[in-house]
Amino acid sequence: MYLMSIAKASPGERVYVSGANLNTAQITELKGMYKDLTITNHTIKDIKIPLRRYMQYRITEVLLEVWHSGLNNVYIATNADVFLNRPINDLYSLMQTCDIALHFTKIHMEKKMIQNGVIAFKTDNPVVLEFLEYYDQTTKGSSLMKGADQRGLMRAYNNFKDRLAFGQIPHDYIDGYCRKGSHMWSAHLKGKWPGYQRFQYELDIPVSQEKPEWWIESCTMGGE
């Protein structure tokens, strides 16, 4: 539904998907949903931490992956469980004045974290690559606790805030309450299932009343 929301709200965007354990049928289905789509699929196995937590920490690897893809010079990285409501032109305008844009919130900063559901960066400054590599190293190891990805982003920011220009991503780019007018909705704050149903409604898809088997499996995998 993320791709469908982009096709509806901002069809001119070029989209890169870093997938994990997708089969051929799934890749074909995704490519049929959006025309300007690049998919890189990865085989994930033999991990030493719960799968869901590992997938959260993959954000650091994905940021490096898109940097090295060379597909563009400005990237806006998001979680997959979000919904785009409006074109994101103002984020591109913001990136004219900074190297990296992050979503700084009081509740996260007080916990020595930075929310990482949306991260934007440019590739014309090589120090940005140093930042991404440093951030990637903060999520490596088998004993990482929940939230290490957001604490790691805070560490990276503190280490590079004097070397890079950072911008503030507007709060309506990570709206977990699905308010009208927000650029982007997140399914995190009010729960993924209510968010999934709301996304269906906005796309004129019949709203599911029961969670399908694949949903139950994906949401219990890893024990979290």
Contact by Cβ (8 Å): 83, 94: no
Residue 136 CA to residue 69 CA, distance in Å, equals 17
Residue 78 CA to residue 125 CA, distance in Å, equals 21
Give the pLDDT confidence score for residue 28 in this predicted structure: 94
69-93 residue pLDDT tens: 999 999 999 988 888 998 888 889 9
Give the pLDDT confidence score for residue 49 in this predicted structure: 66
Sign of the alpha-carbon torsion through 39, 79, 77, 137: negative
Which among 41, 29, 39, 22 is positioned nearest to 4, based on CA atoms? 29
Contact by Cβ (8 Å): 60, 91: no
Segments of the chain scoring below 70 in pLDDT:
49, 51-52, 141-144, 188-191, 214-224
Q: Are strands 100-103 and 166-168 parallel, antiparallel or unpaired?
A: parallel
Give the pLDDT confidence score for residue 196 in this predicted structure: 79
Give the pLDDT confidence score for residue 98 in this predicted structure: 97
In the chain, what are the domain boundaries?
47-220
Give the pLDDT confidence score for residue 114 in this predicted structure: 95
Q: How many Cβ atoms are within 10 Å of 54's Cβ, its own excluded? A: 16
Give the pLDDT confidence score for residue 219 in this predicted structure: 46
Tokens, residue 177: 């309450």
Give the pLDDT confidence score for residue 186 in this predicted structure: 83
Q: Kindly provide the b/e burial profile for residues 177-191, where b requires at least 16 CB atoms within 10 angstroms of the residue's own CB.
A: ebeeebbbbbbeeee
Can you identify the CATH homologous superfamily of domain 47-220?
A: Spore Coat Polysaccharide Biosynthesis Protein SpsA; Chain A (3.90.550.10)
Q: Are strands 115-122 and 82-84 parallel, antiparallel or unpaired?
A: unpaired
